[in-house]
Amino acid sequence: MAGPDAPARRAGRLALPILLLASAVSLAGGAAAQASADSATPGNAVASAIRQQVGGKLKDFYRARGYWPLWIVGESPGPQARALVDVIETVDVDGLDPDRYSPDRLRRLIDDADGGNLRALAYLEVALSGALAELVRDMREPRVEIRHLEESLEPTRPKPDAVLRRAALAKSTLEYVRNLGWMSPLYVQLREALRDAVPERGNAAIAVPPGALLKPGASGERVILLRERLGLPPSDLYDEALVERVKRFQAQRGLPADGVAGAKTLAALNHAQAKPPVDRRELLQLNLERARLLPDAWTRHIVVDAAAARLWYYDNGAVQGTMRVVAGTPETQTPMMAGMVRYATLNPYWNVPVDLVRKRIAPKVLAGVPLERQGYEALSDWTANAQVIPASTIDWRGVEAGSVEPRVRELPGKGNSMGSVKFMFPNDLGIYLHDTPQKSLFAKADRHFSNGCVRLEDASRLGQWLFNQPLKPDSSAPEQHVPVPDPVPVYLMYFTASPDGGSVKYVADVYNRDRPALQHLASR
């Protein structure tokens, strides 16, 4: 349903504002202010100095907090000051230029402020806040496209005071900076993986002939070729180094990472001769750009990863839960889009797609199984005011032939394809999250079986989180709509590389989106 990622229009880049306001006081006034500061407590003295220094877009933030510092502890730069500069010096991994945020200058200002001079401390305070505001605004700027179903979800460049207020609310400014608290945890973990990633090694032109299973302890000519293919030193031994390299290759291709080179692994290795694989660093960079679209973990929201068929939900700065899901098939893909979960429907109907009515239902009716016994009913049309009609009024042979397309819906019940509940975020594609009676599908490694909607492993747990209480129908009546007290954003994403515990999980590009997306990014 959704095409590959496309480049988003980038907002114009503004030069890094200095955001410093020099004090325009007379020499006598300056002396008086210094005398007043000397008589105050250290904290108040720093706040007084900040008040004299700050201006422009940062003044509202500091005024609201009595000019209390964010970066100064006592009368010295806090550890969060150096932590911010440490982050700035690594932002090339985010596709940003570290020099834009003047890390060398900021380190000099930290050194100057170490002596406790109030003016130097205030100058440093304002400079660091200005740098953070610009860094966050740049790092959050999207570079790939997703369909936003509501205007409120459209990305905008946050105002400096909003950036700083978010940082000030963190329990620890130091940890907020170190952990890039303004970004999604998915982004942060992919960023770590990208920083640690090394370029791909090996010779993709090498083909390993098919044959017996290659596993630890094996030797011979095919092992020599396998080692060369994966960039290991010449040897005919299937040693631990080769096991680890095979595992890494398997993980990158979405294969079971058992370190054994069987038929599927060799086929994937040899297929690279005709279709070179996406480099691991490129794959991480692409998925990092996808993760850039997500809000931080302080924003209450849901993330669905259609590639790995997983779901996370976030609030209060951390992931609150995760579960497996079933996503769309390659022919009926789950699209990339963001909406607001606004209500739940209990005891839902399921409007059966016309192709399934033709393939699954019509043959049974023609074989003598009444529509009602199959758990369905027919309706007069596709409007909200449609009436239930007798199944006998429908030309079922025409349905089977494809010339008649009636509206058929499945009745609520234990066997209903929607299960007991569906969570709705209004969209014109008919995509939503829902329960399912087919629990066995969640045990499968590849969970791409739906018509585009997202089937939930544990719908009741997600409902508990959304509503802060168990979600139960008032009666057996169908289609009971219950509004979510505070609508929650849901992001339908596509991560072929995503965090998995302390590592990164690579899955197959089942929707064939990666290469076109990489081409779009390269053309920006």
Residues assigned a catalytic role: 434, 453
First to last CA, the chain: 24
> Which residues lie across from 498 on neighbouring strands?
505
Measured CA distances, 295 to 64, 318, 327 (Å) = 25, 12, 22
Single-letter code of the amino acid located at 374: Q
CA 201 to chain centre: 29
DSSP for 483-523, please give it: EEEEEEEEEEE--SEEEETTEEEE---TT--HHHHHHHHHT
* Interstrand relation of 497-500 and 503-506 (parallel, antiparallel or unpaired): antiparallel
Structure tokens at 226: 């396998």
Distance CA 297, CA 307 (A): 21
Distance CA 190, CA 319 (A): 15
Cα-only R_g, the chain: 29
Structure tokens at 197: 């990633």
Residue 129 DSSP SS3: helix
Single-letter code of the amino acid located at 490: V
